Amino acid sequence: MICALSGERIKEAVASPKSGAVFERKYIEKYVSTTSKDPITNDPLSLSDLITLKLTPLVAPPDPATTTSIPSLLSNLQSEWDSTVLEVFTLRKTVQSLKSELSQALYRSDAAVRVAARAIRERDDAKQALEELVLSLEVRDEEDEEVEEVENGEKNKSKEEVLKKIEVEAEALFKLHKSTKVKFPYSGSNKPFHLEQGEIYKDVFLGASSHATDVTFNADLKRLAAVDGDSINSFDIGKKSTTAWKTGLASISHWCVSNNGTVAAVDGQKLAFSNTDSTIELESEVTAVTSHPSLDIFLVFTTKSWLVCDPHGVAARHETPTSLSVPAVHVDGELFAAFDGSEIKLSSMTTGDVLAAFSPRYGQIKQVQFAPNAYWLLVLSQDDDNNASVIEVYDVRKNTVANELDFASVIQEFIIDPTSSLIIVNHGGDEYSSAVYQKKSKKWDAPVKLDSSAKSLKLFSHIEDVQKKGTVEFITYDEVKDECQVLTLESS
């Protein structure tokens, strides 16, 4: 058995209860008498704590040699040896501690050197930047033209990035719509429907100047919005609260809300956005404005051109021989349709090219809308004598009119549900009818009267709502009571 302190073979063994190590008695007693600590763990230790161990040797040790001639010399040598053993042990512990401290000191020194080097580098960079700034100030007059070219290049790059975003997003939205499948939640032929009353939201506070027919509803955001003087007020269904955006415009002639909640408002030739403080001054009067289905990018139509804008400026401008009206953006966000006075034209938002065109039956265009299925374009028009209306369903894949819904009266507007299987038609006031698309015949059933007393219905459901609830919901706003109500479509 070896002593943990001296490294020698043990003759009289004792153990420490603190560390469990075994020592030669004379060495540990001398160490404890000096330090009162366990040499291994440095825990407090007294002589009384030591535990004597009884060792039974296999062979009896020989009797110690007796040298009576120099006993005192041997005794002194033994004492010095014992002291040397303790001192060597202490030195080993001290050396280990110093190694640890030295390692930490070297690490801190290395870190300090790195910090100092970085500070010197930053100082040199700052000095160089300052010298370049002074030089540029001295020669600014000579370089104004060059600086202007650089700025124009950056602006052009920014415009290109906006158009690139539209292209990239169009691919993503196409994949999303292609992979999203939802069935029409009502079966059978075009049975009569009725609207079941649901939750009522009071104190909407859209403003004294808002009217039910002027209120818009965003199904993605679940927000009602309306103009109130120079402000646009929005009521959030989920939060049950109203917010107001002070546009800073004298009046508001056109406006729309993107699916991200950004509002664009127009006063003549001035275009303002709710998420910026700046106002864009356009070259001619605005006739219409609409938004991209997923980006804060807007199509703005003027008497001379149409523009692609974001809240930071105009990204693209395309002149037109006649002003465009009644615009609609495709669900993938790259195409749009608009009426030029004689034809409905389908154009690319990124290139400006006219890709297709068709002539509606009547000359008064009241509504243009792409169906959620991404390949139908629905156009509501009426004759000049206001005696008849038609909803023409144009198939953009085949460039033909696929279906027509005729009405012997003036139609105010229509709503197509998220599955593109149901059309709700507003004949005026609270009079509605519904038509269901039959996949087998690929035709729409004749419209059937819808049992409802609501006015100015807006579509409440988007495609995820229909998937979750298995119903189609609408919302209506009562400006007299200043409240809105959700209505569920049910089969009669």
pLDDT in tens, 100-156: 788 777 777 777 777 777 788 888 888 888 877 777 666 555 555 544 444 444 455
Q: What is the pLDDT of residue 159?
A: 85
Burial of residue 23 (number of CB atoms within 10 Å: 0-12, 13-18, 19+): buried
- CA-CA-CA-CA dihedral for 313, 318, 321, 326, to nearest 10: -60
Distances (CA, A) of 322 to 255, 286, 338: 21, 13, 11
The mean pLDDT value of the chain amounts to: 88
Q: Establish if 152 belongs to a structural domain.
A: no
Residue with more model confidence, 91 or 487? 487
The domain total for the chain is 2
pLDDT in tens, 357-409: 999 999 999 999 999 999 999 999 999 999 999 999 999 999 999 999 999 99
Q: Establish if 147 belongs to a structural domain.
A: no
Q: What is the pLDDT of residue 425?
A: 96
Same domain membership, residue 329 and residue 199? yes
In 259-382, beta strands by DSSP E: 263-267, 270-273, 279-281, 286-291, 298-302, 305-310, 313-319, 325-329, 335-339, 344-348, 354-358, 364-370, 376-382
Concatenated DSSP letters of 76-131: HHHHHHHHHHHHHHHHHHHHHHHHHHHHHHHHHHHHHHHHHHHHHHHHHHHHHHHH
Residue 35: pLDDT over 50 = yes
Distances (CA, A) of 18 to 25, 46, 86, 148: 16, 10, 19, 81
- Check if the beta carbon of residue 227 is closer than 8 Å to that of residue 267: no
Which range scores top for mean pLDDT: 17-21, 81-85, 320-324?
A: 320-324
Take residue 349 and report the two structure tokens written for it.
Answer: 């938002």
> Percent of the chain beyond pLDDT 70?
92
pLDDT in tens, 290-326: 999 999 999 999 999 999 999 999 999 999 999 999 9
Give the domain range for residue 272.
175-491
Average pLDDT over residues 421-448: 92
Which one of 32, 58, 84 terminates a domain? 58
- On the CB side of 288, CA atoms within 13 Å amount to 19
- Reduced to 3 states (helix: H, G, I; strand: E, B; else coil), residue 329 is strand
Burial of residue 478 (number of CB atoms within 10 Å: 0-12, 13-18, 19+): middle
Average pLDDT over residues 60-84: 67
Of the ranges 18-22, 82-86, 270-274, which one carries the lowest mean pLDDT score? 82-86
pLDDT in tens, 200-245: 999 999 987 777 778 999 999 999 999 999 999 999 999 999 999 9
Q: Establish if 330 belongs to a structural domain.
A: yes
Q: Establish if 406 belongs to a structural domain.
A: yes
Dist. CA 239–CA 261, nearest whole Å: 14
Q: Establish if 451 belongs to a structural domain.
A: yes
Q: Provide the CATH number for the domain around residue 5.
A: 3.30.40.10
Q: Establish if 458 belongs to a structural domain.
A: yes
Which one of 43, 58, 73 terminates a domain? 58
Q: What is the pLDDT of residue 156?
A: 59
Take residue 427 and report the two structure tokens written for it.
Answer: 């004949």
pLDDT in tens, 155-205: 556 888 999 999 999 999 999 988 888 899 998 666 789 999 999 999 999
The pLDDT confidence band at residue 249, using thresholds 50, 70 and 90, is very high
Q: What is the pLDDT of residue 138?
A: 61
Q: Establish if 306 belongs to a structural domain.
A: yes
Dist. CA 185–CA 91, nearest whole Å: 87
β-strands 313-319, 325-329 pairing: unpaired
Residue 63: pLDDT over 70 = no
Which one of 58, 76, 104 terminates a domain? 58
Q: What is the pLDDT of residue 62?
A: 52
Q: What is the pLDDT of residue 402?
A: 94
Of the ranges 66-75, 192-201, 426-435, 451-460, which one carries the lowest mean pLDDT score? 66-75
Q: Establish if 398 belongs to a structural domain.
A: yes
Q: Provide the CATH number for the domain around residue 341.
A: 2.130.10.10
